[in-house]
Amino acid sequence: MNKLTQAILLMLLSSLPLASVAGGIPLDDYIAVSAFMGGRTSENFKDTETGEIAKVSSNLSQALAFSWRYERGKEGELLFSNAKHNVKMAGEQNNSTDIYFSYIQFGGRVLFTGNSPFSSSFGLGIGATFLSPDDSRYDNEIAFSGNMTGGVRYELTQQWALRSDLRVYGTVLNSDSTLFCGDGQCMITVNGDIYVQTELMAGIEYKF
């Protein structure tokens, strides 16, 4: 994703139409912290040299988000999400290792509210993906990534709320790059692609 595309996405987010905010979102500025747990599903990797498939398991994930109101009906957000996946090469290699897929994303969301405790939102973010093999033989990887999210919120009080988010992450892999290298060899060779993971989370939010 180039700089022009990033700028367009951020402009789109800032210009999205808002619904009425007469309901649950307080008009005063706030900072909120949200803790989530849920599940993450993953695409498989395909080795472009051998054609073999590296299967990536689905697994539980955890996330922590900090958000703040910067305009009526709009929030900024800083998100950290982490999950451990098993990556297993098919075919002759038959290598297998556990890898932590961690995301740090910065972005924002538009809030759609009414006169009930329920509200919904749509958000975009950009940041980085950190791939950290549990096996010390393999190198860590870092790549540019972005996410799209849709969420629902149920306000229990002015400060406490229940939340659920569906996020889709896209990680940009460089052309002709190798992943998870160690001992003079690499598990996977890729030829430039966007690697996708999807995450469904539920959690609780507290506003300060």
**What does the pLDDT read at residue 91?**
62
The two structure tokens encoding residue 77:
């957000």
Considering only residues 191 and 180, tell me which one the structure prediction assigns the higher pLDDT. 180
Buried-state track 6-20, b at ≥16 Cβ within 10 A, e below 16: eeebeeebeeeeeee
Give the up-direction half-sphere exposure of residue 26: CA atoms within 13 A in the CB hemisphere. Answer: 16
The dihedrals phi and psi of 206, each to the nearest 5 degrees, come to: -130, 130
State how beta strands 45-46 and 74-89 pair: unpaired
**What does the pLDDT read at residue 72?**
87
Contact between 176 and 33 under an 8 Å Cβ cutoff? The reply is no
Span 21-50, pLDDT tens digits: 334 444 478 999 999 999 999 999 888 888
Residue 176 gets which letter from DSSP?
Answer: T
Where in the chain are the domains?
Answer: 33-107+120-207
pLDDT (mean) for 95-108: 94
Point out the least confidently predicted range of 73-82, 89-98, 127-136, 175-184.
89-98
Confidence band of 192 (pLDDT split at 50, 70, 90): confident
pLDDT (mean) for 97-111: 96
> Is the domain defined by 33-107+120-207 classed in CATH 3.80.10?
no
Burial class (CB in 10 A: 0-12, 13-18, 19+), 117: middle
pLDDT for 14 beyond 70:
no
Span 83-98, pLDDT tens digits: 999 998 876 556 788 9
**What does the pLDDT read at residue 17?**
40
CA 79 to CA 105: how far, in whole Å?
5
Concatenate the DSSP letters of all residues of 151-170 into one string: EEEEESSSSEEEEEEEEEEE
Average pLDDT, the chain: 85
pTM, whole model, 2 decimals? 0.83
**What does the pLDDT read at residue 188?**
85
Q: 3-class SS at 117?
A: coil
